[in-house]
Structure 1
Amino acid sequence: MLFLCSSIRVSMMLLGLLLLAISSLMAASAGNLNQDFAITWGDGRGKMLNNGQLLMLSLDKTSGSGFQSKNQYLFGRFDMQIKLVPGNSAGTVTTFYLSSQGDNHDEIDFEFLGNLSGDPYTLHTNVFSQGKGNREQQFHLWFDPTKNFHTYSILWNSQRIIFLVDNIPIREFQNRESDGIPYPHTQPMKIYSSLWDAEDWATRGGLVKTNWTQAPFNTYYRNFNGKACVVSSNGVSSCDSKTTTSAASDNTWQSQQLDSKGQRYLRWVQKNYMIYNYCTDYKRFSNGRPRECRLYKFH
Structure 2
Amino acid sequence: MAISAFLYSYILVFSWIVGIYAAYEPTSRFRMQSVNQTCNVFFGRTNVHARKDGRGVNFSLDKLSGSGIVSKNKYYYGFFNGAIKLPAGFTSGVVVAYYLSNADAFPHNHDEMDIELLGHEKRGRWVLQTNIYGNGSVKTGREEKFHLWFDPTKGFHNFSILWNIHHVVFMVDDIPVREVVHDAAISSIYPSKPMSVYTTIWDGSEWATHGGKYPVDYKYAPFVASMRGIEMEGCVWNQKNHTHLLCSRRTLSSLDPVGGEQFAKLSSRQRAGMEWARRNHMFYSYCQDKKRYRVLPLECREK
**AA matched with 1:120:** R
Aligned to 1:200, what secondary structure does the other structure show? helix
Pairing 1:10–2:14 present: no
Across the two proteins, how many residue pairs are aligned to each other? 288
Q: Retained in 2: the 8 A contact 1:107–1:129?
A: yes
Cα distance in 1 between the residues matched to 2:8 and 2:261: 33
Cα distance in 2 between the residues matched to 1:148 and 1:67: 21
Change (3 A) 1:189 1:30: closer
1:274 to 270, 273, 282: 282
Corresponding residue of 1:120: 125
1:156 to 141, 160, 163: 163
Change (3 A) 1:43 1:52: same
Corresponding residue of 2:91: 89
After superposing the two structures, state which structure 1 stretch, 225-234 or 21-30, moved more: 21-30
Q: Retained in 2: the 8 A contact 1:92–1:113?
A: yes
**AA matched with 2:162:** L
Corresponding residue of 1:50: 52
**AA matched with 1:211:** D
Offset at residue 9 of structure 1 (A)? 5.6
Q: Retained in 2: the 8 A contact 1:171–1:266?
A: yes
**AA matched with 1:16:** W
Q: Retained in 2: the 8 A contact 1:39–1:47?
A: no
Q: How do 1:228-243 residues align onto structure 2 when only pairs under 5 Å count?
A: 228-233=234-239, 234-240=241-247
- Structure 1 residue runs without a partner (length 5+): none
Once the two structures are aligned, what percentage of the paired residues are identical?
34
Offset at residue 260 of structure 1 (A)? 1.4
Cα distance in 2 between the residues matched to 1:173 and 1:248: 20
Cα distance in 2 between the residues matched to 1:249 and 1:138: 29
- Give me the TM-score of the superposition, normalised by structure 1: 0.87
| Higher share in helix | 1
Offset at residue 120 of structure 1 (A)? 2.3
**AA matched with 1:126:** N
Aligned to 1:279, what secondary structure does the other structure show? helix
After superposing the two structures, state which structure 1 stretch, 27-36 or 126-135, moved more: 27-36
Q: Retained in 2: the 8 A contact 1:42–1:63?
A: yes
2:267 to 246, 249, 259: 259
Corresponding residue of 1:197: 203
Change (3 A) 1:249 1:94: closer
Offset at residue 223 of structure 1 (A)? 0.9
Cα distance in 1 between the residues matched to 2:170 and 2:11: 24
